Amino acid sequence: MAVAKKATNATREYRKEESMTNWELLEQKINESGLRRAFIYEKVGISRSAWNHKKKTKGNFSTPQISALCDVLRITRLSEKEQIFFAKM
């Protein structure tokens, strides 16, 4: 039975540096959409607390989550998807 390792501060810092999501642009798109956040979270299949955890730790979204976010926020241009979800921060 494998024992899970507890994340250290160094591990958390490393994960923050890996973030590809441009949270500022994503928040802007959400605000422009006029949609309720609860609706967006439901469509993406993520809870509010999980969303906030991703945001706080600068986490990334899975491919299905990105696809759902693009659908619900009507992000269709590849360049815009790249700017939001594959940003080199």
pLDDT digits (tens, 9 = 90+) for 30-46: 999 999 999 999 999 99
Q: Considering Cα of 68, then 25, then 84, then 12, what sign does the dihedral take?
A: negative
pLDDT at 7: 53
Ordered by start, the domain boundaries in the chain are: 17-85
Q: Is 15 helix (H, G, I), strand (E, B) or coil?
A: helix
CA-wise closest residue to 26 among 45, 7, 54, 1: 54
**Confidence tier at 67 by pLDDT (50, 70, 90):** very high
Q: Which fold has domain 17-85?
A: 434 Repressor (Amino-terminal Domain) (1.10.260)
pTM for the whole thing?
Answer: 0.76
Buried b (16+ CB within 10 A) or exposed e, 59-70: bebeeebbebbb
